[in-house]
Structure 1
Amino acid sequence: MCGIVGLYLKDQRLAPELGAHLETMLVKMTDRGPDSAGFAVYGEPIDGMVRLTIRSDAAEPDFESLSARLGSDVRITGHGNHVLALVPASSLEQVKTVIAAEPDLVISSRGERVEMYRDVGLPANVAKRFGLSRMQGTHGIGHTRMATESAVTVDGAHPFSTGNDQCLVHNGSLSNHNDLRRRLRREGMEFRTENDSEVAAAYLSWRMNQGDSFGDALTHALDDLDGFYTFVVGTGRGFGVLRDPISCKPAVLAETDAWVAFGSEYQVLTDLPGIDKARVWEPKPSTPYFWER
């Protein structure tokens, strides 16, 4: 059992409030996932720059030394055991080489818009650790995990990001993820964990790398992914929701002129501005929903 949330802003006057609303939604999912939590926030792009979210697994991360090794043209901001690095596109490969040589460092996400943070612990503590309430942006997704099938680790926490500005949170379980992982490896996709949710994220990234639109990638997932699942997926342009043909996992969508929101339970949505006037519905099985700019 896990809790998943998503918030997409149509009205950009709400951008300064995105993190605060997402934190409230995430914390309300604590009972569905007290073991770990994570979130991804999409901001406005900075011309010529790539965002890298870098995680350190060292007991005492030395981000000051990392900053010196990355060079003066890379700006880093610390968030707990993560840093956000703003990297000139021309220096990206050099920076990736430096990070790859460090055994305790992991690139959690990359893209023009996304930054992603996850850790073990209660959702409220994770959100506070990374300063979620102060973050601004256009949209975001989040996850709280109850680890029923594997250990409580940072690698097991969601979201999973396997492509530029792409990430996914998942409630459910896939039955064919091992076979699909082998197939995707042959296509050049890389995996860090044995988590089935990473396979789902990689599958959608691979589809979109092949030229599928966001909607087409979600549609193809219905044919290729077996099991029970609800996905909330973030891209640089928007976010989407997909449920399997049985749809045994709970899901609620709400929409106003100002925003679209998703939650595993209705209580997640109750503090959003204008919820009393929102259209609220349960997303249908086998039906991709997505909103993009």
Structure 2
Amino acid sequence: MCGIVGLFLKNPALEPQLGTLLSGMLETMTGRGPDSAGFAIYGAGDAEDGSVKLTLRGPDAGTLSKAVSGLESDLGLSLSALARDTHSVVAVPAKDEQRVRAWLTANAPRVDVVSAGRRMEIYKEVGLPASVAERFDLAGMTGSHGIGHTRMATESAVTTNGAHPFSTGADECLVHNGSLSNHNDMRRRLEREGLSFATKNDTEVAAGYLSWRMREGASLKEALESSLTDLDGFFTFVVGTESGFAVVRDPIACKPAVMAETDDYVAFGSEYRALVGLPGIDKARVFEPEPARVYAWERNAGTSQTAERP
């Protein structure tokens, strides 16, 4: 049993409130997942043209600071880093991303790359959702959309690596409630396609599957539609991309889910109580997403936000 939340803002005027709203939603799902929590924010500080943001995670701030200094001295880079507890967001030239990753693998084995992208930052840790949100100052973050997850570990240890969201592509991430029965077979298939995985978690395989399908030219909606036949099990996926937000449930839809839509936002929660603190929720169109149906919204270029009504 885990908890999922997501918030996609159609009204740019609400972007300064994204972190505050998402933090409240995440904390409400504590009962569904008190072991660990994580979230992805889009737009907390977009990378400049020609750059990519890498969210790094380490055992402590000192280890991260040492890694950033090593990157600068050994690779001749001048890097800007924003430290947040056990994570640090580092903007690097896009042309140097693979050099940076290779250096970290060889010289900083205790530092992991949690996410990469122009707009996305991912933070996750062991602990109660409210504590995780406070450690990273989620309430102070701004952006266009975000997703979050609270985990109750039932099939594996309680670790930061097991926490959601999982990201396997630039500005792509996924949170998941459920279980996949064919994830080992799918992992081997995706590894033959050139993907690599940091954990044995089935959610990382699901994220990798979507990244692979989109890399092959599928849209996010098309990738999620094909997941309904290629991924076996029971699941609810909430997905974020640089410009989009999507939800899909398996054909049985045994995991709880509720959505709300207004002119200002689209919101998802594993339970309705995760949505009650949102502005204008009393006038929202509240509905349960149908089984095996993809619900997807996209962000227009620039500052305007629009949603494609399912």
With structure 2 as the length reference, what TM-score do the two structures score? 0.92
Select the residue among 213, 229, 244 that pairs with 1:238.
Answer: 244
- Write the deviation string for residues 87-139 of structure 1: whole angstroms up to 9, x where unpaired: 12233222222212211011000011100010000000000011100111110
Q: Are the aligned partners of 1:73 and 1:88 in contact in 2 as well (CA < 8 Å)?
A: no
Q: What is the identity, as a one-letter code, of the residue corresponding to 1:67?
A: V
Mapped partners of 1:232, 1:284: distance in 2: 14
Residue equivalent to 1:76: 81
Residue equivalent to 1:15: 15
Q: Are the aligned partners of 2:61 and 2:83 in contact in 1 as well (CA < 8 Å)?
A: no
Residue equivalent to 2:174: 168
Q: Are the aligned partners of 2:9 and 2:265 in contact in 1 as well (CA < 8 Å)?
A: yes
Q: What is the identity, as a one-letter code, of the residue corresponding to 1:6?
A: G
Mapped partners of 2:66, 2:197: distance in 1: 28
Mapped partners of 1:63, 1:261: distance in 2: 34
Residue equivalent to 2:207: 201
* Equivalent position SS for 2:95: helix
| 1:28, distance to aligned residue in structure 2 (A) | 0.2
Q: What is the identity, as a one-letter code, of the residue corresponding to 1:119?
A: E
Q: What is the identity, as a one-letter code, of the residue corresponding to 2:275?
A: L
* Equivalent position SS for 2:23: helix
Mapped partners of 2:159, 2:222: distance in 1: 33
**Residue 268 (structure 1) aligned with residue 274 (structure 2):** yes
Mapped partners of 2:207, 2:65: distance in 1: 32
Mapped partners of 2:98, 2:201: distance in 1: 27
- Write the deviation string for residues 8-32 of structure 1: whole angstroms up to 9, x where unpaired: 0101111111011000000000000
**Residue 35 (structure 1) aligned with residue 41 (structure 2):** no
Mapped partners of 1:219, 1:77: distance in 2: 37
Mapped partners of 1:260, 1:45: distance in 2: 25
**Residue segments in structure 2 that go unaligned for 5+ positions in a row:** 300-310
Mapped partners of 2:148, 2:121: distance in 1: 12
Mapped partners of 1:40, 1:199: distance in 2: 18
Mapped partners of 2:51, 2:20: distance in 1: 26
| 1:64, distance to aligned residue in structure 2 (A) | 2.6
Mapped partners of 1:282, 1:61: distance in 2: 45
| 1:45, distance to aligned residue in structure 2 (A) | 4.4
Q: Mapping of 1:245-260 within 5 angstroms?
A: 245-260=251-266
Greater mean deviation of Cα atoms: 87-96 or 38-47: 87-96
Residue equivalent to 1:134: 140
- Write the deviation string for residues 254-274 of structure 1: whole angstroms up to 9, x where unpaired: 000110000000001111111
Mapped partners of 2:253, 2:242: distance in 1: 27
Q: What is the identity, as a one-letter code, of the residue corresponding to 1:240?
A: A
Q: CA RMSD in A?
A: 1.1
**Residue 94 (structure 1) aligned with residue 96 (structure 2):** no
* Equivalent position SS for 2:267: strand
Mapped partners of 2:277, 2:54: distance in 1: 31
**Residue 106 (structure 1) aligned with residue 106 (structure 2):** no
Mapped partners of 1:244, 1:90: distance in 2: 39
Q: Are the aligned partners of 1:61 and 1:81 in contact in 2 as well (CA < 8 Å)?
A: no
* Equivalent position SS for 1:248: coil
With structure 1 as the length reference, what TM-score do the two structures score? 0.97
- Write the deviation string for residues 176-197 of structure 1: whole angstroms up to 9, x where unpaired: 1111111111111101111111
| 1:48, distance to aligned residue in structure 2 (A) | 2.2
Residue equivalent to 1:54: 56
Residue equivalent to 2:196: 190
Select the residue among 178, 183, 206 that pairs with 2:184.
Answer: 178
Select the residue among 272, 275, 293 that pairs with 1:287.
Answer: 293
* Equivalent position SS for 1:62: helix
| 1:49, distance to aligned residue in structure 2 (A) | 1.8
* Equivalent position SS for 1:16: helix
Fraction of identical pairs, as percent = 60
Q: What is the identity, as a one-letter code, of the residue corresponding to 2:16?
A: P
Q: What is the identity, as a one-letter code, of the residue corresponding to 2:216?
A: Q
- Write the deviation string for residues 126-154 of structure 1: whole angstroms up to 9, x where unpaired: 00011100111110000000001110001
Q: Are the aligned partners of 2:47 and 2:91 in contact in 1 as well (CA < 8 Å)?
A: no
| 1:59, distance to aligned residue in structure 2 (A) | 5.8
Select the residue among 152, 155, 158 that pairs with 1:152.
Answer: 158
